Amino acid sequence: MILKMRYRYHAIFMVGALMIAYCGQLWGHAKDQSYLYLRIYQDHIEGTVETTYKDLNLAMGTDLKRGMKLDDLGSLLPAIQEYIRQGVSIRSSQGDHRIRFVEPRLMEAKLGVFLKSDFVLENVGTIPDALDVTYDLIFDQDPTHQAFLVIRHHWPSGIIDNEGKPYASFGPDQRTATMLLPEGGKAKGVWKLFKMGMQHVLTGIDHILFVLAAIVPFILLGRPPLPTEAQHPDSLSDKAILWIALFALGLIPGFVLGASGSLPLGAPLVEGAIALSIGVLAWSRLKNLSGGAMYALLIIAGLFHGLGFASVLLGKNLRGEYMGESMLGFSLGILGGVVAIMLLFYVVSRVLQSRPGYQNWIRYFLYLCLAISVYWLIERAFGIDLLIDTYIGKAFGKVFGIFHSH
């Protein structure tokens, strides 16, 4: 009895640890705020100024309204860009860095419409150690306005796709800031990608279900996983390790080919194949498929999961820098996430296997995987939103704190 309670506490502890590890501080867009994002790469610096239509109307006397697209802004865009250029200045030891605007974007939000004024800094020879930033927009018209300087990307510092941690804030009484860029090495960048890879696995329901569908019949050590599989526990463990190795055999080349752009497949095909792999694997377990057919299934499934992971990595706007190190960190994080899922379920399984009817619960889980697979396949392959997935995803995201409020 004491041993059973200990396993329960271990399971609760591990679930709680995973949630705490990935529930970061929630920070996002808020009322009466604007933002200056900087993305520092090896040979150039990009940035974005985000302002709402409401704030621009207040500062410039324009009449921008929700529903207006970029084409509707027309002649107002040059005036808005000049207003930003006059209010935002960036300099370093190399001198003044003039803002050169590129194609702007719009972002619809509950707070209003944000105009994303993207730019590139000129006169950047080598990346400086520090940037002196002046931000003087909207404060004179609205003394309560706040603005934030955010380093969106700086690989050597381990800052990648950052939206939630501002570097400095601006206000009516504080319109300048000095941003220091440490030299750094590669360790922080690799570590950041490792955490991102692990987080993607631990918060991706499709990857979790696939791993569980593969290991659930094997990880309940001490009893045959399904009534027709009366094998010795050691052989079950060996087979589970073999299956994970075969999956990795397909995942690694898929990840490398996708991240390098050598195998450019469309998102609907890749995401649909990932959804299908869950159902096919669940069906194979229900039918006790084994041998060459099972091995081929695992390798092919690993290939498409690898392509899916690669698309996530490419979405981090790395611009091709430190790709080898990024792929290494991200792939190790994926492996760490898979191991974490296996260890967590192992602890939970030690409690479940003492319950009557546990084999039926395995079957129910596999049937559930089949149903979810068909549902996701329809959504992803045909671009149909069946709504239920949206609510499930939001609920899952709130549990792990991965959806920012913007």
- The 10s digit of each residue's pLDDT in 87-116 is 999 999 999 999 999 999 999 888 889 999
Average pLDDT over residues 211-229: 55
Work out the pLDDT band at 404, boundaries 50, 70, 90: very low
Average pLDDT over residues 364-379: 83
pLDDT digits (tens, 9 = 90+) for 239-286: 667 777 888 888 888 888 887 776 666 677 788 888 888 888 888 877
- The reported pLDDT for the residue numbered 25 is 41
Work out the pLDDT band at 20, boundaries 50, 70, 90: very low
Residue 75 buriedness (CB in 10 A; 0-12 / 13-18 / 19+): exposed
pLDDT digits (tens, 9 = 90+) for 297-330: 888 888 888 888 888 888 887 877 888 898 889 9
Greater confidence, 100 or 365? 100
Closest CA to 86 of 52, 57, 60, 61: 60
SS3 225: coil
- The reported pLDDT for the residue numbered 264 is 63
Place of tokens 């993207």: 118
Does residue 337 surpass a pLDDT of 80?
yes
Whole-number average pLDDT of the chain: 79
The share of the chain scoring above pLDDT 70, in percent, equals 78
- The reported pLDDT for the residue numbered 91 is 95
Residue 147 buriedness (CB in 10 A; 0-12 / 13-18 / 19+): buried
Does residue 66 surpass a pLDDT of 70?
yes
pLDDT digits (tens, 9 = 90+) for 134-189: 999 999 999 999 999 999 999 998 899 888 789 999 999 999 999 998 766 788 89
Question: Right CATH number for 188-400 from 3.40.30, 1.10.10, 1.10.357, 1.20.1250?
Answer: 1.20.1250
β-strand 112-121 against 99-101: which pairing, if any?
antiparallel
- The reported pLDDT for the residue numbered 79 is 94
Average pLDDT over residues 50-63: 94
- The reported pLDDT for the residue numbered 388 is 61
Best-predicted range by mean pLDDT (24-33, 246-255, 350-359, 376-385): 246-255
Work out the pLDDT band at 10, boundaries 50, 70, 90: very low
For the entire predicted model, the pTM comes to 0.73
Closest CA to 290 of 249, 247, 239: 239
For residue 108, count other CB atoms closer than 10 A to its CB.
10
For residue 210, count other CB atoms closer than 10 A to its CB.
26
In the chain, residues under CATH classification 1.20.1250 are 188-400
- In angstroms, the CA 271 to CA 206 distance is 10
Does residue 357 surpass a pLDDT of 50?
yes
Place of tokens 């596999």: 366
- The reported pLDDT for the residue numbered 12 is 44
- The reported pLDDT for the residue numbered 202 is 87
**DSSP secondary structure letter of residue 369:** H
Average pLDDT over residues 362-376: 83
Q: What angle do CA 228, 229, 232 make, to 5 degrees?
A: 150
- The reported pLDDT for the residue numbered 336 is 87
Closest CA to 29 of 104, 144, 114: 114
Q: Which run of H or E residues covers position 325?
A: helix 323-352
